[in-house]
Amino acid sequence: MNVATSGTLPEGPGVDIGDTVGVRGDGVGAGVVNPYPAPPGGALQRAIVAALVLLPLLAGVFAVIWFWSHGIGWLDLGLALGMYFFTGFGVTIGFHRLLTHGSFRPQRWLKIVLAVAGSMALEGSVISWVSQHRRHHVYSDRPGDPHSPVVAGTRLVDKLGGLWHAHAGWLFLRNRVDAERWSPDLIADKDIRFISATAPVWIAASLVIPFAIGWVVTQSLFGALLALVWAGGVRILVLHHATWSVNSVCHVLGRQPFRTKDESRNVPVLALVSMGESWHNAHHAFPGLARHGVDRWQLDPSAMMISAFERCGWAAEVRWPKAELLDRRRVARR
């Protein structure tokens, strides 16, 4: 079988390889000092981020107004859902469980499709995304975490400020992405290196595709633009906030059934929209597992897709939860 390599994190100054990050089971221990502070971002970066945040929001406002008086057609609904789950699984399965944590080994074509799909989610290039997320696990809820809601101060304004920072505020800061430290395995992978370098192409494709399909099916410019609003703007809006909510809400609200050294929590209500990512406490307790909803009846669509890949012979060495592993870190219920 032709499978993609995944590699492991390199050791850095003060870094001890342990079981925290879970790139093919490896990780970085706690207690290290962040060598990469994040200075304020420049005006151009803030303008780009503002556009990525505000334009989908405007599309969402228009969609709500249009829906109130006209509803939504089956074409627009189908395109929006199809693009949402295609690009969403690209992030949750491709960027996250595969390329960040090495939860399974895919055939080469599957690795490429997942990386392209994730790049179409408008969440940054694959190497940048993975590097930031690996860094998040190393410094989770401590200085150096690029998007922790945990801040000094007990006032409500402090808590809300921390929540905003974790949700989207951190995107307006210049967070150094040291890919050579965090993602040497991806740099060495020619497929991933090419996909990451051509990220703008995949972003454009994610908007051109619904526009083109809308044009072909409806034979009208307005039909094409409406498809772009739903399957482009609204899809991006919902997926962005689903992803960001894992960084923010899932470190503030919810249960902590497993022992971790951070504030990661499980938030069941977000399980479907986040495609299983909101079982966040379980993920931080066992980062390398392919399933985040590790307990019975916990909905995890991403794990269901990985299971389907495995049954089709497209994925191998899938790291599924084992009861004895879970029990070692489970908090006893009172």
Q: Would 303 be classed as within a structural domain?
A: yes
Which domain covers residue 162, as residue numbers? Answer: 43-329
Domains identified in the chain, total number: 1
Q: Would 177 be classed as within a structural domain?
A: yes
Per the document, the length of the chain is 334
Burial of 308 (0-12, 13-18, 19+ CB in 10 A): exposed
The pLDDT value recorded for residue 131 is: 95
Q: Would 11 be classed as within a structural domain?
A: no
Structure tokens at 57: 């929001």
Residues 218-228: pLDDT tens digits?
999 999 999 99
Q: Would 52 be classed as within a structural domain?
A: yes
Q: Would 324 be classed as within a structural domain?
A: yes
Q: What pTM was computed for the model?
A: 0.86
Q: Would 219 be classed as within a structural domain?
A: yes
Q: Would 33 be classed as within a structural domain?
A: no
Element (H, E) at 258: none
Beta pairing, strands 105-106 & 315-316 = antiparallel
Statement: residue 265 has pLDDT above 80 = yes
Q: Strand pairing partners for 258? A: 330
Q: Would 6 be classed as within a structural domain?
A: no
Structure tokens at 250: 């899932």
* Mean pLDDT score, 208-235: 96
CA dist 256 and 324 (Å) reads: 18
The pLDDT value recorded for residue 33 is: 35
- Residue 12 pLDDT grade (very low, low, confident, very high; cuts 50, 70, 90): very low
DSSP three-state, residue 255: strand
